[in-house]
Amino acid sequence: MGLLLVLRPPQPRQKNLRRATRAQRREHRRTDAEEWETAQRRGWLLDVEVEKLLLLANNAENSRLLILGQLDPWSDTVLDRHDLPRLEADVDRLEAVAGDDAQRELVAAMRKLLMSWRAEPDLMLHCYGD
């Protein structure tokens, strides 16, 4: 299971593709694929293993994490620019308790994503759980 963190521009309301033609569905999937590739190239995408994040969050006393402690890794969430300082504080707490190289790498990747967000103020952080 994973949690996908992606910096994206604000999204228009999702259209229901239930009655879309096959061509419309193909175009929708093609556009999504291009957006994900661009996000990955720019460093705006991070795929996190839920088990690693939960273990790290538990070590940081999950209840003290203002954003990550409330995040449900099995559902979708959108965070806006106002959440950035609290999310950075959460990552600082995670960094303080990271016990091995894998956890330190995860924290570093999260910090890099947040730095990208700080540099692009019009983006939102979309969290897609599965």
Q: What is the pLDDT of residues 93-106, one digit of tens each?
A: 999 999 999 999 99
Averaged pLDDT, 73-77: 86
- Cβ(128)–Cβ(6) below 8 Å: yes
What pLDDT, on a 0 to 100 scale, did the predictor assign at position 74?
82
Question: Is the per-residue pLDDT at 14 higher than 70?
Answer: no
Any bridge partners for residue 4, and if so which?
47, 128
Q: What are phi and psi of 129, to 5 degrees?
A: -100, 155
